[in-house]
Chains A and B, each alone.
Chain A
Amino acid sequence: MIFMKILWAFLSVGLLGALFGVGLFIASRFFAVKKDERIQRVEEALPGLNCGACGFAGCESYAEAIVTGEDTALDLCKPGGPDTAAELGRIMGREVEMSGEKLVAQVHCRGGKETSEYDFEYEGIEDCNAAALLYGGAKRCPYGCLGLGSCIKVCPVNAIDYDEDGLVWVDRELCISCGKCIDVCPTGVMKWIPYDADTIVACNSTDKGGVVRKYCKVGCIGCGKCTRSSPDGGFVVENFLAHIDYSKGGERDSAVEACPTKCIIKIVENTMTGESAQPLEAVAAQDSHESD
């Protein structure tokens, strides 16, 4: 009797399962969705980082938008750059217009514990946006880098890290131009520069010179010496802060020399020279440490 019961249990569940299985098989034939095979190929051509720099949710949705929507631009993938755009153009059989030069993000602030004034000691969550909620951060300068590394955490390719001086710095070789760090930064100190920029004005403060001097030793005071010593360098002083117009290709070294607060720094071999230069051995050591 008990064996019969086991048999019936086995048979009924087994048969039901088989029945449903066959039913689903038939239904899957009936409701099959034809997918454009180009979507697959476009997706393979994309880097697959899902960084969202193109404005779509990820590589998959960008691939779908390219194939289904005729007017989706092919050069939106910043990490892939021109190579990927050309590959996409080949798959889709469309002409691709290359848009401009490669941009990378960089921190425009070199104010650390020694050089900048702090109003208080921040001991909250290690997040710049959380710190910025509390009186705009511990630093007296409201424009500078808060140094809690929100950009380091958000970077999908680990291109951002603290350098030898404990200040945040972007490795331009690793940067894929996704712009996530720029979005997350509460003070806006993270800004775009051309990949081949040789000099940056490492300050974001638009306060008057006298005010800046009170809270930061390496801040831009808007004196305008750079515009005079490197007239072809594209230096512009606006709101007491110097900018560089990178379309002007003149020499900028004399401006680096002339800058009284040394906030104009030269970028050489992915690091910087000037007051807070890293010794080259230290960079090499850091690199080998990172590749571990």
Chain B
Amino acid sequence: MSYVGIIITFVFIENFILTKFLGLCPFIGVSKNTESAVGMGFAVTFVMSLASLTTWAIQKLILVPLGLEFLQTITFILVIATLVQLVEMIIQKISAPLYKALGIYLPLITTNCAVLGIALIAVRSNYNAFESFVAGFSAGLGFLLAILLMSTIREKLENEWVPKPFRGVPIAFITGGLMALAFMAFDKALLRNLIG
């Protein structure tokens, strides 16, 4: 599959949040204001791209030659946890307010199933190193797109009249559901039409 195909697939057609429903915790938790949502999106993108690249290397260079594919989950989690720790340190150093805004959700990227998801999907699809990296990066972009859309909608909702029982998280769930419905319009047929 071409790189353009991979990008379109993971940003739109198989958007991790809106069609695969992975990594919903930060999607609801950090989407209250755009600034921290974008920060979260970039943090996840960074972790996803590096994680899929590193896990590709570990899979091809260590696990397959040694016949240890059954260790996939544990080694991949190890890689992701390390990367998240690294990102946490970098963010704390570079931008203390962003670190504060992300709060508990930053270490929770560790257990964000979207990150492990892209690592496993990239391995299963037999991507080469660069394709894995592109897949991870575009899955992260898809996450960024979804959380950015969500946060701008939620910021607008703050000023709207919402029936009392729906205020806060309930209306966010409904919004997310409607966005997911909209994203169902992107499918494989669209990809075929676009790049043949």
Contacts and interface: CB of A to CB of B under 8 A. Distances in A.
Which DSSP category, helix, strand, loop or mixed, fits chain A's interface? helix
Contacts of B66: 5, 8-9, 12
Contact of A12 (B71, B82, B85): B71
Contact of B86 (A9, A12, A16, A24): A24
A232 B66 CA distance: 94
Contact of B82 (A13, A23, A31, A33): A23
B116 to A, nearest CB: 16
Contacts of B86: 23-24, 27
B92 A31 contact: yes
Interface string A93-121: 00000000000000000000000000000
A5 B70 CA distance: 11
Nearest to B63: A12
Contact of A24 (B58, B63, B71, B82): B82
A24 B74 contact: no
A13 B71 contact: yes
Contacts of A16: 58, 62, 75, 78-79
A184 to B, nearest CB: 16
Contacts of A33: 92-93, 96
Contact of A31 (B63, B71, B90): B90
Nearest to A20: B82
A31 B68 contact: no
B67 interface: yes
Judged by DSSP, the binding face of B is helix
B185 interface: no
A28 B68 contact: no
A17 B58 CA distance: 12
A27 B67 contact: no
Interface string B90-110: 101100100000000000000
B89 interface: yes
A40 to B, nearest CB: 16
A33 B94 CA distance: 9
A5 B66 CA distance: 8
Nearest to B67: A5
Contact of A9 (B68, B78, B82, B89): B68
A5 B75 CA distance: 16
Given A27-B86, A27-B89, A31-B89, A5 B68 contact: yes
B89 A28 contact: yes
Nearest to A9: B68
B79 A20 contact: yes
Interface in A1-58: 5, 8-9, 12-13, 16-17, 20, 23-24, 27-28, 31-33
Given A12-B66, A13-B74, A20-B78, 7 more contacts: A8-B68, A12-B63, A12-B68, A16-B79, A24-B86, A28-B89, A32-B93
15 contacts: A8-B66, A12-B66, A12-B71, A12-B75, A13-B71, A13-B78, A16-B62, A16-B75, A16-B78, A17-B78, A24-B85, A24-B86, A28-B89, A31-B93, A33-B93
Interface of A: 5, 8-9, 12-13, 16-17, 20, 23-24, 27-28, 31-33
Nearest 4 interchain pairs by C-beta = A20-B82, A31-B89, A31-B93, A8-B66
